[in-house]
Amino acid sequence: MVAVVMAFSRLAETESQCIARALRRKDSEFIGRLVSQFHYRLLRYLVYLTSRREQAEDLVQETWMRVLERAGQYNGRSRFEPWLFSIARNLAIDHLRRGQKIGLNTHDAEALLEVPAPDGHSPFAAAAKSEDAVRVAGALAALEPIYREALLLRFQEELSLDEIAQVVGAPVSTISSRIHRGLAIMRSRLEGGGGAA
């Protein structure tokens, strides 16, 4: 009887709750599929955040290790993506903090994300696959990471403003402003008909 009830309750589980349960149980097969499923999106997010392809690749694995360590903190009541991206974001900022060897609060640490890639090669130029994308690649690379991040999370990850606010740790009004600003810059680049980055 208990088994039947449990089976029915499992059927009614959301995807988020399945993920939470698998993470708590350290279900390696499920987690492996999860890693594969989110690999590209997580990498893309970290590239948008850091502008450094190589660093983003290193941070992908570290993000998942931290997900495993903190599995008990995810209860499946909200979507998995905001939690995953918030871990990745904090990890990226922690790395930059350590590199600077100074103590910073999170808001000051966000400024570290604005340091351009040392070799000057933008990962966005290489990733542009359309004429308009080529036009905005330069603007995207030059855009402050907090605006770039907001655009990605809203329009490509399709997170709500509340979810983005949760990831970033900023008010919804701030997120809205960042999206506005980011879009305005993209529009001006498209309107100006700028060349490739």
- The residue ranges that bind other proteins (CB under 8 A) are 25-29, 31-32, 35-36, 39-40, 43-44, 47, 53, 57, 60-61, 64-65, 68, 70-75, 83, 86-87, 90, 123-124, 126-130, 132-133, 135-137, 140, 151-152, 154-156, 160-161, 166, 169, 176, 179-180, 183, 186-187, 190-191
Residue 64 C-beta: closest distance to other proteins, Å: 4
Instruction: Report yes or no: 122 and 139 within 8 Å, Cβ to Cβ.
Output: no
Residue 99 C-beta: closest distance to other proteins, Å: 22
15-25 vs 28-50: helix axis angle to the nearest 10? 110
Residue 9 C-beta: closest distance to other proteins, Å: 20
Instruction: Report yes or no: 49 and 150 within 8 Å, Cβ to Cβ.
Output: no
Nearer to other proteins, 10 or 26 (CB): 26
Structure tokens at 141: 């690379």
Nearer to other proteins, 72 or 103 (CB): 72
Residue 129 C-beta: closest distance to other proteins, Å: 5
DSSP labels, 27-52: -HHHHHHHHHHHHHHHHHHHHHHHS-
Nearer to other proteins, 65 or 102 (CB): 65
Nearest-angstrom CA–CA distance, 111 and 104 = 10
Nearer to other proteins, 102 or 126 (CB): 126
Nearer to other proteins, 4 or 193 (CB): 193
Nearer to other proteins, 101 or 187 (CB): 187
Residue 13 C-beta: closest distance to other proteins, Å: 18
Residue 49 C-beta: closest distance to other proteins, Å: 13
Chain-centre distance of CA 79, in angstroms? 14
What number of residues does the chain have?
A: 197
80-100 vs 161-168: helix axis angle to the nearest 10? 30
Nearest-angstrom CA–CA distance, 174 and 172 = 5
Nearest-angstrom CA–CA distance, 49 and 64 = 17
Amino acid at position 1, single letter: M
